[in-house]
Structure 1
Amino acid sequence: MKKLLIKFLFVLPLLVPVACSDNLDVVNPNEPTLGVLDSEEGFLRLMLGTYDAFDGVTCNFPWIATAHQECMGDAIYIPWGNFSWRWANQPTKIILDDGTVVTPPQGGSQAQELILRNDRAQGDNNAFWLEWSAMYRMNNHANLLLAKLDEGTVEFSGDAATKNAVARAWAYFWKGWAYSRIGSLYSAGIINNEFSATNPDYVTNQEVIAEATKQLDQAINILQGVSESADYTTLMERSMPDFMRPNGVPSPQSWIRIINTLKARNLLVNKKVRDMTNADWEAVRSLAEQGLTPDDNILELRTADENALFRTCFTPYRVMIGWHFISERLIQDFKEGDNRFTRNFVQLARCLRQPEYECHIRLQLPRLLGRSG
């Protein structure tokens, strides 16, 4: 008995630290693990987090990357050197009416200056990495959604089959959207459909567009079998910020039409006109006819007075304070009485933070998918 008591007293101190360790092993709710995604609430928050992939904190995508594209498309002009905007905006030369040739006062052509800065060491001055990083961040986010659904551990309430299907369609759609932008903007890209992984296998932009089509078609196949039930609406509402769905969420059929419009756009902008065949034009026509209608609820980026996703990362604010200037070419494109002009533009006497300049302010962000009218 004495020997047994000694052994018990020897083992007891070894057990106490283990028990204490288990009791103190508390998970920090501010640093959740992937295990929280097994609950419906955790997974819905992950779906809503898709919008965070746009990076509204640093403004890399909603402001800086889109500003590059808008100035290259003559919607705006930016004289500042920040983020290499000046170089994206730089013409090789301007020929005046009298034949005078004006060349840039500094640097070479747009292509030369952008290629010169296409290096990791350039950081934010590399105009090419901002869109690239945002789109692959979104793709990786969608990969995580699909990985959790494949595990089969997410505990959906109600019509679990519908919620699972809609969540998959959501992930496939955003993957298709991200690949669409990569394929449309870069000569090559990487196809990566695994969470938190990458590979060095660059493929042509046409192969990236083909992958976009594949992902979008998977979303369509799912949505064709989904009805607009209460569980569908609830899941969609929880996946989108409320201020970005002022008229409600897209129905499954509206969502399919959104995808068809995107597919038509992908085909139209990724081929030179001289390379378009009759079959290509017929495909564009067919997709457009099966695309968005005036009554469809769409996916769009909007701002809000409070809890705005993009804070100050949106074009109207930046135009108003003198970061951007509306291009004369854009204004001249509007004919008198065009509702798109009267609805979206107003002239200010002076910029709020650059009073020496005149400003035009664009009132509303461009829609992700949709039409102006």
Structure 2
Amino acid sequence: MLGVVMLFILDDVPSLEDMTRGGERVLIFAALLPTMALVRATAMTMPSVHATQERLGRLPAVASAGGLQLAAHVFGGIINTGAFALLSAALPPDSGTHRRRIAAEAAIRGMVVSSAWSPFFVAFAIGQIFVAPAYAWMAIALGTVSAFLFMVVTIVGLHRGFKGTELRQSLACLGPVASRLAAVLAAVLVVAVVLELTALSAVVTVMPLLVLIQMLRHREKVTVIIADTCDAMNKTADDIVVITAAMLVAFFAISSASLASMVAGIYSDVIPGWIALPAVPIMMMSLSVIGIHPVITSTTLLAIFSGGGADVHPALLVQAHLVGWGAGTMSSVASLSVLSCATLYRVPTRQLVFGANIISGFGYAVVGGVGLALINMLI
């Protein structure tokens, strides 16, 4: 698929010099997934994480799904899809088919939407290459708002029995890990500001050091952490290749005049923001339903709309991409989140793809895109 995209948007085969420059620019992306595999393996051994897992397992049924969505959002912001394995173990083993499906859908919603604000996602790594670092951080700030609104609307709307008492019970489950998660995010932010690094560079720099500290504190866990990291790396090798290839295609598209010429043949003026910003998440969501992963759609759209191709604020464009990533991975047959939860929660994939989350995903994409377009018109 990426090869088809490259043939479509490029006039010529990239030169050796272009390939070298592109390789240097996207090399750090190949370091992100191994780093996150290491972080995930380490988190799975932490007593505070297990304490949260046990508390979630004791939640009453009326608070369970909402609590899982909240927990998936918090854990997903740091360990991404690793949150699913952690939270599926908190579901009572005698749960019926309906409860397992509701729990799986809630976990997916919570986890994927954390991509709107988390610098630990591949989505952010892709988006930040198209804008200056300051705009990438602004996009994260916007993401905290969009993710918060989505969480409130879906938890209240989809879990009718979830009220103040259930919210307090769910938040109490996160108590053991709250300070550690805050410390991780603060460390990444401080290093990025002090050393003037991009968010991605800060993540790749800070997280291995934090893991090393954890290993020194719990040396008996080192063997398990290394083994789980190696196992995860074997499973994600294809993802590294696909993501790196997608970023190379994006780099070549930006460097080449062919993409600009192609767009100019359709629309010769600067594309209005009210078209570009809704188009990014809606197209990412729509194409993901038929199996085209957001990494392919987003790299193409960001290459078209960034750098003056559209009349949009760069931070809003990145946030539109992050909203589209969350929406697109919420109910797609190509989504690792959906496939993982189908296995862990023992729910057919088709039920997760065509269930409540497809409505939530399209709603998130449409409302998020239109909202960002309105903000763009006001600034």
TM-score higher than 0.5:
no
Instruction: Kindly indicate which of the two structures has a greater share of residues assigned to strand.
Output: 1
Q: TM-score, normalised by structure 1?
A: 0.25
Greater fraction helix: 2
TM-score normalised per structure 2: 0.25
Indicate the structure (1 or 2) with the bigger Cα radius of gyration. 1
